[in-house]
Structures are given as C-alpha cells and as structure tokens.
C-alpha cells in the first residue's frame, strides 16, 4: 500500500475514533459507598432496572426483571411503565422531560448490589439517548457489596449524566450488563447529582486530534503538488 493510502487510512480511523469517543461520555464508577450514605431508593430516587419492588413516582416505571439465586448473567434495558422485559430486549424509553421532573437534568446512577459473596462483574452500563449511546461505563470490573448488601442504599454510583442539552421529547434508555450475580439481581436507581469539574481532554484524545490533523494536512499537500 502506498504511503498516501496509509496516511488516508490512518486519518480516517483517527477521525472516526475521535467522533465515537467524543459522543459517548465515559461514566465514572465510584465506590464502595459508606454504609447507608447514598439513598435509599425512593419515589424521588426511582429505579430504572431492578430485580425487586421499587418505590416509584407516578407514571415512572422500571424493568422489574426476575433474578433469584445464582444468576450467571443478565443484559437488561429499562422500560416504562413498570413491566418485566426479557433479557436483551429494549424496553419503552423515558422522555428527557419525565426524568427531569423527578431528578433534574443532572443525576447519577446508584447501584444497590444484592450479594455479599463476591465474584460479580459489571460488564457495561449505557445511557442511550435517541437510540445512540450518550454515556457509558465499559468494564469488566469486579463489583460487590461491602456494607450495604441489598438494603436499598447504593453500594456504588455511576455518574454524572447531564441531559440539559437535549430536548424534553428526546428518548432515554438505560442498559445494564452484569455477570456472576450470586444472590439475586441488582437495583439501578437515579439520584440527583451535580456537574463535574470541567474536563480536560485526555492525552489519547489529543493524540487522535493530532494524527487526524497531520494526516489530512499531508493528503492536502500531496494533492496540491
């Protein structure tokens, strides 16, 4: 392959990688959380995916999936109104307006782990807006309950999600992929949060920008020769 083609290929790959990284904002996993300090789950902190009964505000449902005993894995999406949606099947999305009415436009996702046995792994968590991944956490990350096992309080949090730039009618789905549950399924619920500090671009992102700019510049120079 000619050097020109390699440059074009590298520049194109860098641009696509940069676009994907820029769109899907990474979620930060925080925990384990001190005992009974975040929560409890309530109508003002509604479930989006859970394997238990949850206190919900009016017209705000969740995927009430069944996960009892040893659970090898689950791949669950949220849904509203409350229903049991099968593993791997997308439920009915919320609107941005529905979520903002309850927890505001900025929030975190609390995880109430339902085991103290260990060996559980968070594989993936996504916030999907209008059918595209807007926020995500990509594991695999071992995760367990240290002090709050299945009591309605958060063991870990994922955040921060900010929906203020989206329209009220835009749609939102939540997606959890988990393996190794040993004592029932987890509860994922929303808690009002605050904006994080202004983020500085990571070195990897800056490198992608540099590669893309250099590649496009080289292509342009070759075309003008």
pLDDT for position 7: 45
DSSP letter string, 156-225? EEEEEEE-TTS-TT-EEEEEEEEEEE-SS--EEEEEE--PPPPPPPPHHHHHHHHHHHHHHHHHHHHHH-
Half-sphere exposure of residue 147: CA atoms within 13 angstroms, side-chain side: 8
pLDDT for position 133: 98
Q: Which residue has the tokens 């940069």?
A: 18
Task: Output the pTM of the full model.
Answer: 0.76
Quick count: other Cβ atoms within 10 Å of Cβ 148?
25
For 217: left if phi > 0, alpha if psi spans -120 to 50, otherwise beta; the answer is alpha
pLDDT for position 202: 37
Q: Which residues pair with 175 in a beta bridge?
A: 77, 126
Written as tens digits, the pLDDT of the chain (225 aa) is 554 444 454 444 444 434 444 578 999 999 888 888 899 999 999 999 998 889 999 999 999 987 666 667 899 999 999 999 999 999 999 999 999 999 999 999 999 988 766 678 999 999 999 999 999 999 999 887 666 666 789 999 999 999 999 999 999 999 999 988 777 788 999 999 864 433 333 333 444 444 444 554 554 555 555
pLDDT for position 18: 40
Domain ranges of the chain: 1-30+197-225, 32-194
pLDDT for position 217: 52
pLDDT for position 70: 64
pLDDT for position 42: 96
pLDDT for position 6: 41
Cβ-in-10-Å burial (0-12, 13-18, 19+) of 138 comes to middle
pLDDT for position 16: 41
Asked if omega into 81 is within 30° of 0 (cis), the reply is yes
């Amino acid at each position: 392959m000619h050097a020109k083609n390699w440059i074009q290929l590298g520049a194109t790959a860098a641009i696509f990688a940069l676009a994907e990284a820029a769109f899907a904002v990474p979620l930060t996993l925080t925990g384990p959380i001190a005992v009974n300090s975040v929560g409890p789950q309530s109508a003002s902190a509604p479930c989006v995916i859970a394997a238990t009964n949850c206190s919900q505000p009016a017209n705000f449902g969740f995927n009430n999936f069944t996960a009892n005993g040893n659970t090898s894995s689950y791949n669950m999406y949220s849904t509203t109104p409350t229903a049991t949606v099968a593993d791997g099947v997308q439920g009915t999305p919320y609107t941005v307006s529905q979520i903002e009415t309850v927890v505001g436009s900025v929030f975190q996702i609390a995880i109430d782990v339902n085991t103290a046995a260990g060996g559980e792994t968070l594989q993936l968590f996504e916030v999907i807006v209008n059918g595209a991944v807007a926020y995500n956490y990509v594991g695999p990350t071992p995760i367990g309950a240290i002090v709050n096992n299945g009591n309605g309080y958060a063991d870990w949090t994922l955040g921060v999600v900010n929906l203020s730039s989206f329209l009220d009618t835009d749609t939102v789905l939540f997606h959890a992929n988990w393996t190794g549950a040993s004592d029932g399924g987890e509860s994922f619920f929303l808690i009002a949060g605050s904006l994080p500090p202004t983020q500085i671009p990571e070195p990897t992102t800056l490198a992608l920008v540099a590669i893309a700019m250099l590649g496009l510049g080289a292509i342009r120079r070759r075309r003008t020769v």
